[in-house]
């Protein structure tokens, strides 16, 4: 092992380093470069590098672990956390937090951070791109041209203007705030709902999601998935949005009642959808594949080289701050 200066570290030096446990699926090989960065500062324990099964590994090493990296969407349930009695910090490498037992963390006083701060810019860009694509029918128009339909069928059906659209934001966290910044600059009329009203936000706060939908031409969903937000975009919400309404989701698939949404889209009772996430990924309802007013992307809103590097930086900085008794970045309010 090498030090942060690149010089080899002795076994004694390695033993004196703070311990970081990596919790991941064996297939999550993208973590390997991040582990190399962490090893410049910490002694990294990874059950995937051991011949022991995960439970045996944690039973042997878990009592000394104060900080854990939860990589990608590896589930972190209570029975795993029980094996880590000294755990004080969980650093999540994603914006979503629904794969971690937050109730257990709250009860035990374990601090949780996520990667929203590093991913917000790309997620906001993608959400706005989906909305524009649905309204202006860009992807469908591209298929129309490629199929040779333009010379045969003539003019393509009209799209819809973005400026002046009433857009409701469901979840005004880091990502939602980035979306608002972009849409306000494009001339949209913004309102939002969130866990609480934001005193410094100069847009209308509407506490009820059905009422928000009734006063919107489009909803953009970017709140965390919790027990309280599961299917927050219900059939009632979508019917309140109306036949011309558009739903965009860059949060988690289960924020929307997907079955009801598909029915409404197929029957023309919802105007369109831009979806980066789905309830049963990677399976997508086959009915959506046939609809020109629906844009589908494969949970890729934040998959850019820049965002991956920013996430790595944020993770390393959070662990350094924790072991230096300095303020943490991107703390999740449990």
Buried b (16+ CB within 10 A) or exposed e, 197-234: eeeebebeebeebbebbbebbbbbbbbbbeeebebbbb
Q: What is the 3-state secondary structure (H, E, C) of 270-320?
A: CCEEEECCCCECCECCHHHHHCCCEEECCCCCCCCHHHHHHHHHHHHHHHH
Structure tokens at 221: 């969903």
Is 230 a known active-site residue? Answer: no
Contact 221, 251 (CB under 8 A): yes
Kindly report each contact of residues 10-15 with a partner whose C-beta sits within 8 Å and lies 24 or more positions away, as own/partner: 14/43, 15/43
Catalytic member of 281, 287, 306, 309:
281
Spatial neighbors of 57 by CB under 8 A, at least 6 apart, are: 45, 47, 50
Catalytic residue among 252, 258, 260, 312: 252
Q: Which two tokens stand for residue 273?
A: 């959808």
Q: What is the CA radius of gyration of the chain?
A: 22
The DSSP letter of residue 64 is G
Q: CB–CB of 187/193 below 8 Å?
A: no
Catalytic annotation present for 281: yes
All residues at 6 or more sequence positions from 165 whose CB lies less than 8 Å from its CB, including other chains: 135, 188, 189, 217, 218
Catalytic annotation on 63? no
Q: Contact 183/134 with Cβ under 8 angstroms? A: no
> Of these residues, 60, 99, 182, 299, which one is catalytic?
299
- Which amino acids are annotated catalytic? 252, 281, 299
């Amino acid at each position: 092992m090498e030090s942060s200066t690149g010089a080899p570290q002795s076994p004694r030096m390695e033993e004196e380093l703070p311990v970081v446990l990596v919790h991941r699926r064996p297939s999550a090989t993208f973590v390997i470069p991040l582990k190399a960065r962490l090893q410049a500062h910490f002694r990294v324990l990874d059950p995937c590098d051991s011949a022991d099964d995960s439970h045996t590994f944690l039973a042997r090493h878990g009592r000394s672990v104060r900080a854990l990296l939860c990589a990608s969407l590896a589930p972190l349930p209570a029975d795993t956390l029980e094996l880590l009695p000294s755990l004080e910090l969980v650093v999540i490498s994603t914006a979503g937090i629904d794969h971690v037992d937050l109730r257990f963390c709250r009860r035990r006083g374990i601090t949780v951070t996520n990667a929203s701060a590093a991913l917000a810019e790309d997620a906001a860009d993608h959400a706005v791109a989906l909305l524009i694509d649905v309204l202006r029918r860009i992807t469908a128009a591209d298929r129309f041209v490629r199929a040779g339909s333009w010379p045969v069928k003539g003019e393509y059906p009209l799209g819809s203007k973005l400026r002046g659209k009433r857009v409701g934001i469901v979840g005004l966290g880091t990502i939602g705030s980035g979306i608002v910044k972009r849409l306000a600059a494009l001339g949209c009329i913004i309102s939002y709902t969130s866990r609480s009203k934001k005193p410094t936000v100069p847009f209308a706060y509407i506490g009820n999601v059905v009422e928000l939908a009734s006063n919107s031409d489009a909803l953009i969903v970017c709140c965390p998935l919790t027990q309280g937000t599961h299917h927050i975009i219900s059939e009632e919400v979508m019917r309140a949005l109306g036949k011309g309404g558009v739903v965009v989701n860059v949060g988690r698939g289960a924020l929307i009642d997907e079955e009801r949404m598909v029915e409404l889209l197929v029957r023309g009772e919802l105007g369109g959808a831009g979806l980066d996430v789905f309830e049963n990924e990677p399976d997508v309802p086959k009915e959506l594949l046939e609809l020109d007013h629906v844009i589908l992307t494969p949970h890729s809103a934040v998959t850019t080289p820049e965002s991956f590097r920013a996430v790595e930086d944020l993770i390393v900085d959070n662990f350094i701050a924790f072991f230096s008794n300095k303020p943490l970045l991107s703390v999740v309010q449990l």
